[in-house]
Each structure stands twice: as structure tokens, then as C-alpha cells.
A and B are shown apart, each in its own frame.
Chain A
Amino acid sequence: MVTDIIDSERALGYLLVAPVVLLLLALVAYPFFVAVGYALTDRTLADSGVFIGLENFELLWENQIYRQTLRNTFIFTVGSVTLRLVLGVGLALLLNESFRFRRAVRAAILLPWIVPTVLGTMAWLWMFNPNFSVLNYILVQTGLMTHGFNWLTNPDLALFSVLLVNAWRGVPFMAITVLAGLQAIPQDLYDASSIDGAGKFQRFRYVTLPLVMPVLLTALVLSIIWTFSDFGIVYGLTKGGPMNATHVLATLSYQTGLASGNIGEGAAISLTMLPVLLVLIIWQLRRIRRSTTM
């Protein structure tokens, strides 16, 4: 019997993949379906609740704080990922050049990514502090401004501030990933294109960009997923304030589901992220499959 399984390539394949499937079912699929189930009930922490269909979602849509949070989350994600992309690619191109202390600089660039989120957030909290901001101190002392910025006080600026910290944390990942892609490009291609008369921009446009694109897209999709579901930076800096100007879906879900004990509604809020993330994940998986079958 055992030898039959080992001899059968198909059966052995299923056997070998079974541990991973079981692990995914237990750690990913089960919590996910539990969350979907909760979102369709009025469950609270102290009461298992009853099935209410899509009522949680209907009530959420009528709620101003939820709609504001949805808007914030999209601005936060698009803004942060754009900054990550521009700064990350720029940094990668710089780090790909030869200069003194290149290795040390490459290591230092990773610091925001390595530092625990809470620690980094605390440092930024001081820099944005309404009354003791070191950034404002510098701006005022150098004569550039008379009062400094209301980093976390002005609702629009507060959203930009949390977005900036998220981008600061994510740029190293983007830069290092793109740098790895850049270093995998054979020098021959650059030499050949130079001989053909390609200038610096053309070499970037026709050699670098197409070859680094697969890595760039992977980093981009991961960045979108991570930013869309970010909790720590917003919670640490503002707890969603002022006046809910920085609430994102993850912080509102926490506030509703855990702090207020409204598990069903909290689950519904977090599931709002699902369609967007699902589209991204399916697209990414299809792309990976296509590239591996090519």
C-alpha cells in the first residue's frame, strides 16, 4: 500500500503537498471563513449573535465615519505606494552606482524597514508632536517658517503625515528589491545598447525598465497589500484622529470589533479590504504562473 503511493507520482504529489495545504487551511482559510461568518451576524464579544445577512454592510455604508475611513484608506494607500515607488526606484538606481561606502549605505538604507514599527512610530510621533516637533523647530530656527506645520493637527496634513511615515518605512523594501532586479541585468545588454547608440535615458527606458519590471510589480503589489492593511503606524501616531481624519479600515475595525466589542461589525469593516486585495492577489498569482510557465 505504502509502496503503491510512493510509486504513484500523482498520489505522492498530493501526499507531499498535504502538510502545506493543511497548514494553509488551519492558519489562513479557517480564520478567513470565520471572519466572513462573523460579518454576517450581530455577534459581540459576550454574545454569539444571530445571522443578519448583509445588514452590517448596509449600516456601515450609511455611517459617515466609515465612508470617511474608506476614503482615507484609499488616499493613504495610493499616496504611500506612489511615494514608495518613486523614492524606492530612485534610491535603487543610486545604490546601483559605484561610490565610496556603497555597502555601508545599502545597509543603512534598510534601517526603517528593520526597526520595529512601534519604535519608528514613536520617533515620528516626537518629530510631529504638536508642541515639541523637532521638524518645526528646525524650520523655525532656520527662518524658513514662523510657526512650523500642524503635522497631526490639521486633518489633511495629518493624513499626509501618517502616509509619509508609512512610505518611509516601505521605501527600503522597494529599493532593495528593485536593486536586486537591477543587479540581475547582464552588463552585456547595456554595452550592446551603447554600441547601438542608446543614450542614458534610452538605456533606462529600453533595457533597465523592461527587465526590472517583474520584480518591480511584485514589490508594488506587496506594498499595496501591506499599506492597505496597515494598523500600527496610524494607531501609534493618531489613533485615527483628529476627527477621524486618519482612520484607516484596520484601525476602525479594531476600534469597532475589539475596543467596542462589536465583533460582527468589526469583521465587516475588515472584509471591506477583501475585494481590492483579492483582485491584486489574483492578478499577482496569474502573473507569477505565467512567468513560471514561460
Chain B
Amino acid sequence: MPKVLSLSDLLLRGRGAVSNDVDEEIALHIDARARALVQEGLSPDAARAEALRRFGDVSATRRSMVTSAMRQRGRARRRDQMENTLMDLRHTVRQLRRSPGFASAVVITLALGIGATSAMFGVLDRLLLRPPSDVREPERLGRLYLHRLDEGQEITITEVSYHRFDELRRGAAAAIDVAAAYYGPVVTGNSENARQVRGALVSGNFWSVLGARPALGRFFTLADETPPDGTPLAVLGHGFWRDAYGADSSVLGTTLDVGAGRFTIIGVAPPGFTGDGVTRVDLWLPAATARAVFTHLDAEWIGRHNFSWLSLIGRLQPGMSPPQAEALLGAAYRHSLDAVRGPTPGAERAPRASLWPLLLERGPERTDGTRVAMWVGAVALLVLLLACANVANLLLARGLRRRNEIAVRLALGVSRARLVRQLLVESLLLAALGAAAGMVLAWQSSGFLYATLFPGLEIAASAFDRRILLFAALMGLAACLLSGLGPALYASRADLRSMMGTASRSHGHRSALRTGLLVAQAALSTILLVGAGLFVRSLREARSTDLGFDADRLVVARIQVRSATGLPGGSSPVYREFLEPLRGVPGVTAATTTLQIPFSTSGSTSLAVPGIDSVERFGQFRLNGVGEDYFETTGTRILQGRALNRNDRAGSPLVLVVSDSMARVLWPGESALGKCVQVGGPHAPCSEVVGVAANIHQYDIRAEPSLQYWFPESQNQGNNSGAFGVLARVQGDPAAMLPAVRRALEPHVPGSAFLTVRTLRESVDRVLRPWRLGAAMFGLFGLLGLVIAAVGLYSVLAYSVGQRRREIGVRSALGAQRIRVMRMVLSQGLCATGIGVGIGLLVVLAVGRWLEPLLVGVGPRDPMVLALVATTLLGTALLASVVPAWRATRVDPALALREE
């Protein structure tokens, strides 16, 4: 058998080569045939003609042969590539198994980066990117806010009355279809079986505006919204239908008691339907049936404006633009306002409307949780970058170690493209492993993230889904390219002469790249650590903020009434009745009724003080009507005068206790005791200030202490009387006391109401949670960044010392002292770190103000944090450099020189 050319030779040639081959084959055949015919006795010309005749249609055969060959060639090339890739993969796996330390370092680094980024992406995707499910054309939908001037300042109105909604809907119908919704707890079932579920009261057109279709039955419509109380129809949430009714479709037509009403079930919402929000909803009711839930409303409520509870959404009519809708809504709002107060010059109130994205967190009502989530997401991205820089550095070092092998392979004719591909396979494999581990991490942590950032918000859908997986995969790919491409290109640039011969002398620009990566790492670590420091300090400040009351000692008990008429005489008598049994519970040392519950509710009314013009200019004064043992119960200290006591009752002289802050703004430099305050305005009677109490934070830890005053709830000040709940002061852990408190109070709860008992700490913790998470995440990532940077620095310096053995040997031989050699290596590491820290600090100074709204009691440029971070990083750099530096001094000149 004659020698054949290799298959791959053929494969590498193009279509031209293929048709040449075919032509040659055909020519050969015809020649051979003609020769055979000549031997049979034909003349050469006749033989040729006969040969062609026997062959048939030459051009058709040729075409068919070329096409077939091309197809086969393409298939073979693909198979070849696949085989090459598999070979590369096997090669890579072998290599990685040989250095498990390197492999696991890279995978863990990438997993943490990718996991953190993906988990945060999941949260932000749900809150900021993805439209709610089962919504048709979400881009035509928007959330509506109203604005008007109030004492010269524009205020934003997020909730409106049913009447206003109705007027806006009719007024702007030409441009936008406006719907309204309220989300809140509702009570279903009767007395013992009563339970609280997540409800929503929505306007009849809510369904058509969102474009949702029922999973079962039908939805209610605007026609069911007849005043005064609408038609009592209910649509079940899909999850509730499944959990409470076992997904039984015969549920349609049955009735369900909700609040004070009896509702007929007419439909089931689609699975995962959350309306315009993100939380699960169990029960959808018509907004016009509000009186069943809000039992204090009277029969005329639907025509009044004093109960603002509905948030507004709208769908643009076909062909209408947001500005057109805003203009019509603004006009409708003006009409609605004028109808109440009579026309006023427009400039005075300047009512207008604005259209925002449907997602709540993208509008003016964004929560701290989302802000923190965005920061943590950015931080996670930084960590991923840091991880990529580190992996790039590690790969670069490996590439340099392997450059002899690479140079040899290049010399043997392996193409650079093939080599780069092979090196990329390595980073791709590492990134794939990292991404897989990252997905597990994201999956494990997403539930925890939601619970921490958004307590009480039960996200309807699973916190982990395809989009997160896709994102993690994309991040993995990006990480692979980011960390692998540079090193692969560098490594493939190896050339035989410089590599094999004078290996160690030409690494100048490669080490420049590595130093650049080190600087970047140090800068990123600086940013992370500064963030961590600021959040940790904020958390500490927030925690140590003197709330003015003992949040850790207090239990709150409240009742929720579910009857149409309310309780005879209101709920205050019930709360007063609670006090005796409460005091009887072992471990309860004091109990009081209260109108406002810290970190849950607050209230204010107009106030006048003789001798002071318009006290409102000092800010909002928050009121509280309290029982006789209030200060003893909460632990709020009395600084001057006396606390309220049992002698302050209905009929006795009106008295007040004011907070220190209130006393200082109203009567600076004088004693507040004995001063007169008119609660309810200038026509109200004087209340005498009898005490000054310590400042308290009623709602917000970040804000200044509230301007606060307390009066006896029995003295009925400006219609702000009554009780809203009871507070009990307990010894020991309040959470452990909850069952005992519940048992003691349960017999005194009227049948038409149900009891909730919780610790005050819960409410305070809810407020602290974003900082806690921020501190934990920044702290974790900052530490991670520090470790990554330290490992990177160590490996670079150790490598560089290894490379410069000869140079160091020569220096030592020429008489350089060890200390100078050591200084040389140390300064290399410290310089890179120093520059990185400098850059990081500059970045922090530049972007710090964006962080400011999230910080408590500490500025974004806090010198202590900045100094501490710089010291930590430089100290770490020093530590990481010591070992390589020490090793450099141990280089034996004779040995190092002989190695060459």
C-alpha cells in the first residue's frame, strides 16, 4: 500500500482544494479508461470520447462529489475540535489534580464571588427588575403618586381615599386606566377559628388593568363596587386555595367570613399572582367592601376623603404617553381637591401627578432593605472582581511556570490559537466549578437574605429560580474570560529562544502586569474594608443609641376587633381591664395602657404654646396618651419634675410630661416646668408641664430624638384619647414571657376580637436589621478580600524571589548585605499595596456620599475607619512579604550562580 497523506492535511484545505481533488480523480479515471480502450484497438480520439460517454454526466457527478466531500470535511472538523477540547479538558483535569491547593483556592474564591453576586442578583431582580407575574404588558403599567405643596414644600401622597381614586379614575380615563389596591392583614373565620391572613382590597378594574386571568371561576368587576358597601365577593389566592381548601374547585359559591362581612367565593387567582406587589396574598376582596375590614368606617365613608388607604396603579390607554396621562391625572387631582376646599389659586397647592415604574422599590417609596441590598450587591460584584484578579494572578504564575512546556509546544508547531484555547479551557473549568459551587451557595442563602433584608415580607415565589442560575452561569463565564484571557494570551506569547535559554531574564512586563493586579486587589480590599468598618460602626452606633426606653424589657399586647360595630365603648376599656391580670403574671413588674407603640405607631395633633408663634416650625411634636404607670413600665427616665400618676385623671388639672428635646426647643435656657401647652390648637385649654423626660426614639434610629409629649390617656386631650395597646415590663427574656402573657389575657378578650402579643425588641430589630446585614456582609467580604489580597501578594513575591535568585545571588556575591536584600523584597510588596490602598481611599472619598444615607452616627469619611483600614492592609502586606524576603536572604550566591 503506497504512502498516504494524512487526513488532517486534507482537512486543512479549503473548497478549492476539494474540487481540485475531485477533478483529479475524475481525470485519472477517464485517462485510465481511454488508455484501456486504446489497447482494445480504438484510436485515441475515439477512446477518449467513449470514456467520457461511459462516465456519464461529468459536471453533475463533480458537483455531487464536491458537496459530499465538503459535508464530510465539516463533520470531521467538528469531531476533531470536539476531540481536541475533550483532550484539553482531560489534560486540564490531570493538571489540576496535580495541584489541588491551587485548584481549590481558585474554586472557593470564585464560588464565594459568584454565589454572593447571584444571591444578591436574585433579591434585586425580584424587587427591581422583574415585573410581577401574570401581568400583561408590564411596560404599559405604572404606579401613581400625587404631589402638592404643603406650607411651601412639595409633599408626595402615596395613598388616597376611595373617593379620590374614583374621581381620578373617571377624570383620567381617556389616557390611563387607574386601579387601586390596599394590602394588609384581614381576619377570617369566627371566634375560636379566627385567623389572620394576608388580604388585599382592590378596585373592580384591578384585574383588567393588570391583565390577569383567573385560575378558576371569575374575578369581580367595577360593577361589584356599588356604594356603600359593594358586593361581598372574594377571590382566593392560589396558595390559600391549595392550603386551606385542598385545591377543591367546589369551593366556588361557598361563603367565607372576613372581618364583619360574609363573602361569596367566586374565583381563584393564578398561581404565584401577587397583584402589583411581591408578597403572597391569600384573599382578594373588592375595595368597596372596606367596612367589613375597617370597622370604624361609617355608612358614608365611600364619599369622604378622610380615610387614605389605597395605593394607585394604572395602565396607559393605547397610544397614550406617560406625560399625557400625568397631565390628565394632575387635572383630575386639582378638580378633586377643589371640590373639597373650593377653588384656590393653583400656585398655592400646585397639585400634580407622577407615573413611576410598577415595582414599588423603583419609586419614591424605596426601603432601606433595598438600598442595603443594592450596596451588598455592588460589594459582591467587587468581591467577584477581586477573586478574578486573584485567579488571573494565579493563572499567570502557572503560565510562567509552564512556559518551557509552552515554548516547546509552539516550536513543535501547535498554533497559538489552539494553545490559548487550551489555556482557556483551564480557566473555564475552574470557573464552571466555581459557578456550580456559587449556585449552591446562592440557593442556600437566598431565603436567609430575604428574611433578613425584608422581614415580614413573604415573597410569593421561590427565592431561587432559573434567572439566578442563568446569572450565575453568566458570571462564571465572565469570570473565566476576565481571569483567563490575559494569562492565556501572555503565556502563548512565549518564544523559544528567550524561554529556553535565558529564562529568568525577560519577565519585566509580565511582573508589571502582576504588580498591576496586586495594586487592583489592594484597592478593592480597601474599599471593602472601609465599607465594613463604616457599617460595623453604624451598627454599633444604632445598637447603642439610647432609645429612651428599655426595649429589651417590654412586651406589647394588642387586640384586633373584627365586628361591624366595634366593641361597645371602644377597645380602651378592654385594655384597662387587661392591666390587672397582666400585673398578676409572675415576672411582670409593671403594666400600662398606651396610645402609641414605639417603632410601630406615632401620632401628632396641632399644638399651641402661649408666647411662641407657630410651634410647628420646630418640627413635628408627637403625642402619646398613656396610663398611670407608663414611665415606670417603659423605663423612660424623668429628668425634672414628676411622672404622671394616678391622681392625674379625668376632671383633675390637665398635665403633660414633655421630652428633653421638646423642652429645649420650646423654652431654651429656662425650666419647662409649669409652662402651658394647648393640645389641639390655640382654642384648647392649657395643660401644665409637670415633668421633663429623657429623649426617646419613637420611630427612627437615624433621626434626631422625637419632640415628644405624654398626657394621661384618661384626660381626653384633643380627641386623642383612648388606648391602642398595653405594655408590660418583664424580668428576664421577654420572648419567654409571651405565652404566660397570652394565657393571662386570653380570658379577657371579647369574642369578636383576637389577641396579638409580641416583644418590643422585634420592632426595634426590624429597624436594625439592614445595618446588621450590611455590617455582616461587608465584614465577611472585607475579610475575604483581605485574605485574597494577602495570598496574592505572597504568591507574587515568592515567585518573584524565585525568579530573581540569580540576581540576588550576584548581589550577595558582590557584597550586598542581607538587610538590603530583604528591604528590596519588602519594598516591592509594600509599594504595590501602598499604591493600591491610596487608590482605594481616593475611590472611597469620591463615592462615600452615596453611602451616607445608610450610616448612623458616622460619616463616610470617618478618619478612624480609613486609618484603621490602611494600617490593616499595609500590616497584612508586610506579613505576606516577610517570608519571601527572608527566603531571599538565604539565597546562596554560589548555588544560585551555578544553576544557570
Q: Do A and B come from one complex?
A: no
